[in-house]
Amino acid sequence: MTEEQLNRAYVLTLSCPDRPGIVHAVAGALLVAGCNILDSQQYGSPATGNFFMRVEATTTASRAELQASLEPVVQSFGMQWSLNPVGQKVRTLLMASTSAHCLNDILFQQRSGTLPIEIPAIVSNHRDLAGLAEFYGIPFHHIPVTPDTKAQAEDKLRALMAEHDIELTVLARYMQIISDDLCADLTGKAINIHHSFLPSFKGAKPYHQAHARGVKLIGATAHYVTAALDEGPIIEQEVIRVDHARTPEQFVQMGRDVEGRTLTQAVQWHAEHRVLLDGNRTVVFN
């Protein structure tokens, strides 16, 4: 796809109560705007009665013209929707504590062009990862957190998000619990990586817990952040096989690789507008 064509390519995502005629109405509105549909995926959830759709299309119309064509359909069906240029980079804040593996995976994939994100800042409650941020040429912000300073720290974080027009926050092994208020503000806009295949071994040293139980599979879970700790809507999960001969330390190393891949995949799908929320579940068009 040429740069000119890319500038005319859009991704439309929508959700609404399911009923007949949605696909026909959306396709008709896109036709009126002179769109050529390149890809279309849809899903009707029997559990919630909601309908979800993702469409990629090219057009000579402007974004405003395309929005105007779609607006009557949106109003008629009571849709929640978004319209974004294909490939437009999502402004993303990365947060980490002392572990570098997930942060490094995202930074490497972003620099290589795999992830359609822009990273204006990295935040940490420690200074350990400042060198990694410097290597990638991204401003590093040390915001220490203690029980007494948690509110002030989150105020600084909010100010940083506003300053950089942050659209997505990624907790790349950020080992601090975010307040309920901030979680609510970041609904559907913050992704966390959990170092186990949820729901499973929670709390401290999950790999050691898994080793003690003699598990044969370990994994990682990337999910949206909610006030319910580690119970947000799941975006992606991956597992790998282990056996009795592995040590807890080998579990940790293998788990780190899985964590990095799982989080990076979740960020990519979010940035490509492939993830839609359905209550406490997600619909992922991959």
- Residues with catalytic function: 230
Neighbours of 60 (CB within 10 A): 10
Instruction: Confirm if 195 and 223 have CB atoms less than 8 A apart.
Output: no
The answer to whether 160 and 93 have CB atoms below 8 angstroms apart is: yes
Give me the DSSP letters along 161-197.
HHHTT--EEEESS--SPPPHHHHHHTTTSEEEEESSS
User: Which tokens hold the place of 15?
Assistant: 């959700």
Q: Which residue has the tokens 């050529």?
A: 36
For residue 115, count other CB atoms closer than 10 A to its CB: 24
Strand-by-strand arrangement of the 117-124 sheet: 140-142, 117-124, 90-96, 168-171, 190-194, 217-224, 234-241
Helices (H), the chain: 3-7, 22-32, 63-77, 101-111, 130-135, 150-163, 180-185, 206-212, 248-271
Contact 33, 8 (CB under 8 A): no
Name the pairing type of β-strands 80-85 and 275-278. Answer: unpaired
- Is residue 227 packed enough to be buried (19+ CB in 10 Å), middle (13-18) or exposed (0-12)? middle
Please say whether the beta carbons of 206 and 195 come within 8 A: yes
